[in-house]
Amino acid sequence: MVSIQKITAREILSSGSTPSIEVKVVLDDGSIGIASVPFGASAGIHEAFVLFDGDKKRYGGKGMLKAVTHVHKMIAPLLVGKDPFDQKAVDTMMITLDGTPNKERLGANAILGVSVAVARAAASSLRMPLYSYIRKTLKLRIPGYVLPAPMMVCIEGGKHADQSTDLQEYMIASFGAPSVKEAVRKGIESYLALKSVLKSHAYGVNVGNEGAFAPAGLKSNEEPLQLLMEAITKAGYVPGKDAGISIDPAISEVFQEGRYRLPKDKKQLDSAGMIDYFVAWAKKYPAIISMEDCLHQDDWDFWPKFTKRIGDRVLVVGDDLTVTNPKRLQKALDTKSINAILIKLNQIGTLTETVECCMLARKHGCVTIISHRGGGETNDTAMIDLAVAVNASFVKVGPSRGERVEKYNRLMEIEDELEKKCSFIGKEFRLVH
């Protein structure tokens, strides 16, 4: 019987120039698994707890040495000698040791690092790619592999960039292609076309947290939609056929004292007004395929109203609303609040719970979109293996900067590896409307 021999952790740097945590797991057959953990800049209030040191003398309080210590002093003693091949048991032991609802004792960053590193070590021991190992250890019954389509953040504002829009993300989702590789190319070409479109409108091409353009001086929160339409067309593609537009306003970030505040539009709206605002966009821009976090993370009364208005034509995506938490997803499904969910491993903090959330969504026909993070990303590509394991519809990441393109490089590598044993969702993907 192979068992876990050693678990170590260290503080590394993330894309946000603040620390993150990397965990290394060694099995007694010599197999090694390494994982690192990202975190968000506009994290939802219901997410699992990211343990920062809080010591202002180091990295302004953002160090992760406490999480590192928790791996060494608490998690390693618990798991060394245990079976690495039962992922659910490994994750459950850590959840039980933590004992809090949001993993605040050990830190979800410490727990997730170990969770993914154990899975990688076990996959390596069995000489399996991580995506197929996830299916095996968590006993997923999913027929075949259908690879996800790219969703690339092309213009960003909000908490991800100064002087840009109030809203956080404007994306190009590329499909209408025979393969992931072709869809990635379409997305990247549209992103590069956007650069020259921005220049032609005399806007700057500086980038924000995720490598998306963050032009100062935009006239409204709507203007990026026109710029994206222009970019897709300039790249030689047809909006709505080759590529769609997705938005993530991350609207909880602009919610204050009961109103949604949009200084760029000189508007302050209530929930009904916010719904009208976004429904008007969906009507005016038929290329919009998905709208994420368009209402506050606890605005449960209005989410169902929004989905009722546009859910037949547009993916209404929960992110801060659902935080990859099966309990919050169940509530969102019961109340018909969403028809799609954003999935981030670190929002919940273990591989097992993340997959459970994806499978619950799948069971109810709720579309899954696996996502990167905007606060501090790392070069870890587990989100891609996860997306492939659960047949997610989209991966939201990139399109520029090393820690983002690494994800697409992994997805294209998997496409090569699976050759004829997989298909691509973007081949048949039709807009819902």
Output 8 or 102, the one with its CB closest to ligand PGA.
Answer: 102
Instruction: Give the distance, in angstroms, between the CA of residue 68 and the centroid of all CA atoms in the same chain.
Output: 24
Contact 348, 116 (CB under 8 A): no
Euclidean distance between CA atoms 117 and 128, whole angstroms: 14
Here the tokens at position 274 are 């916010």
Q: Does 62 bind ligand PGA (CB under 6 A)?
A: no
Q: Does 207 bind ligand PGA (CB under 6 A)?
A: no
Euclidean distance between CA atoms 263 and 293, whole angstroms: 19
Euclidean distance between CA atoms 164 and 412, whole angstroms: 32
- Size of site (CB under 5 A) for Zn ion: 3
- Residues 2-61, interacting with ligand PGA (CB under 6 A): 40-43
Q: Does 248 bind ligand PGA (CB under 6 A)?
A: yes
How many helices (H) and strands (E) the chain has is answered by: 15, 16
Q: Angle at CA 417, nearest 5°, toward 365 and 142?
A: 25
Q: Does 318 bind ligand PGA (CB under 6 A)?
A: no
Here the tokens at position 180 are 């992931």
Contact 50, 39 (CB under 8 A): yes
**Shortest distance, CB of residue 322 to Zn ion, whole angstroms?**
10
- Size of site (CB under 6 A) for ligand PGA: 12
**Shortest distance, CB of residue 40 to Zn ion, whole angstroms?**
8
Q: Does 373 bind ligand PGA (CB under 6 A)?
A: yes
Q: Does 211 bind ligand PGA (CB under 6 A)?
A: no
Q: Does 307 bind ligand PGA (CB under 6 A)?
A: no
Q: Does 319 bind ligand PGA (CB under 6 A)?
A: yes
Euclidean distance between CA atoms 201 and 180, whole angstroms: 31
Euclidean distance between CA atoms 366 and 316, whole angstroms: 10
Cβ-proximal residue to Zn ion, closest one: 319
Euclidean distance between CA atoms 287 and 245, whole angstroms: 6
Distances (CA, A) of 277 to 176, 201, 265, 281, 307: 29, 25, 11, 7, 14
Q: Does 239 bind ligand PGA (CB under 6 A)?
A: no
**Shortest distance, CB of residue 319 to Zn ion, whole angstroms?**
3
Q: Does 248 bind Zn ion (CB under 5 A)?
A: yes
Output 33 or 375, the one with its CB closest to ligand PGA.
Answer: 375
As annotated, the active-site residues are 210, 344
DSSP string of 172-200, one letter each residue: EEE-SSSSHHHHHHHHHHHHHHHHHHHHH
Classify residue 378 by burial, with Cβ atoms within 10 Å: 0-12, 13-18, 19+. buried
Q: Which stretch binds ligand PGA (CB under 6 A): 195-203, 216-224, 369-377, 383-391?
A: 369-377
**Shortest distance, CB of residue 89 to ligand PGA, whole angstroms?**
30
Residues in contact with Zn ion, shown as a per-residue x/- string from 271 to 300 under the rule CB under 5 A: ----------------------x-------
Q: Does 398 bind ligand PGA (CB under 6 A)?
A: no
Choosing from 16, 19, 113, 374, the residue that interacts with ligand PGA (CB under 6 A) is 374
Residues forming contacts to ligand PGA in the complex (CB under 6 A) are 40-43, 248, 250, 319, 342, 371, 373-375
